């Protein structure tokens, strides 16, 4: 995680008065609070500056042939069999083998789909798929003691892919697939509120232990 280089020169000077054991104790207390706030921010899909994560691109899947009963504007119903087609939020547009031509169908006029129809994401209300659900757990977002104090980070199994997101690097979407440029999503980092919290925790600790 990022270093505490935002701390004032005065605070850094006061920290030098602490023993290694005191620094580690204070750092662990701050790290626990930081982990909690980092988990909350990841859950809300926000970068440290408050901006939202860029959404993942939805994979484009081939649409299978579909059959349905369709009610025309005059009230008559007929069979429709689309061999190839595309979807819009309100319509299906494609080649109808029954009519032997390309047609447009309003979704609200589809009476029912026939058994070979398989529901797809576009048939259901759109929902935003949240990213990084599992990594918010303590199992993955870990606190580790160091000689300087403490650090927050992810276990080695996740560090490679998360670094790709963190810095917007090139990586594989699927194992063995082509390399693509990932959107930058800052999973770890200090928000303005966290910086204020860290400074307050340090001052409170120094005051309680009669430093400065």
For residue 129, pLDDT beyond 70: no
For residue 169, pLDDT beyond 90: yes
- The structural architecture, per CATH, of the domain 66-123 is Roll (2.30)
What was the pLDDT predicted at 114? 92
Task: For residue 53, give Cα distances in angstroms to 19, 46, 100.
Answer: 40, 6, 45
At residue 15 the predicted structure's pLDDT band, cuts being 50, 70 and 90, is: confident
Calculate the CA dihedral of residues 39, 36, 33, 193 and round it to 10 degrees.
50
State the average pLDDT over residues 86-112.
Answer: 92
State the average pLDDT over residues 13-39.
Answer: 89
What was the pLDDT predicted at 16? 82
At residue 3 the predicted structure's pLDDT band, cuts being 50, 70 and 90, is: low
Tokens of 187: 């999973």
Task: Provide the greatest CA pair distance for the chain.
Answer: 87
Neighbours of 120 (CB within 10 A): 12
For residue 121, pLDDT beyond 50: no
For residue 120, pLDDT beyond 60: no
Query: Which position has the higher pLDDT, 92 or 127?
Result: 92
Domain ranges of the chain: 9-56+129-208, 66-123
């Amino acid at each position: 995680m990022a270093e505490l280089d935002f701390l004032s020169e005065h605070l850094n000077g006061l920290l030098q008065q602490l023993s290694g054991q005191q620094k580690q104790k204070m750092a662990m207390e701050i790290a626990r609070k930081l982990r909690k706030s980092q988990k909350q921010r990841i859950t809300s899909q926000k970068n440290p500056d408050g901006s939202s994560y860029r959404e993942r691109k939805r994979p484009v899947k081939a649409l299978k042939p579909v059959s349905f009963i369709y009610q025309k504007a005059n009230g008559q119903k007929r069979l429709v069999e689309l061999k190839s087609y595309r979807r819009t939020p309100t319509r299906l547009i494609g080649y109808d083998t029954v009519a032997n031509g390309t047609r447009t169908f309003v979704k609200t006029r589809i009476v029912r789909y026939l058994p070979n129809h398989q529901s797809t994401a576009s048939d259901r209300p759109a929902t935003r798929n949240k990213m990084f659900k599992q990594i918010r757990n303590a199992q993955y977002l870990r606190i580790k003691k160091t000689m300087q104090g403490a650090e927050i980070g992810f276990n080695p199994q996740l560090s490679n892919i998360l670094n790709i997101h963190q810095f917007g690097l090139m990586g594989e979407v699927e194992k063995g697939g082509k390399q693509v440029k990932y959107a930058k999503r800052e999973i770890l980092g200090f928000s303005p509120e966290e910086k204020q919290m860290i400074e307050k925790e340090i001052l409170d600790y120094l005051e309680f232990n009669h430093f400065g």
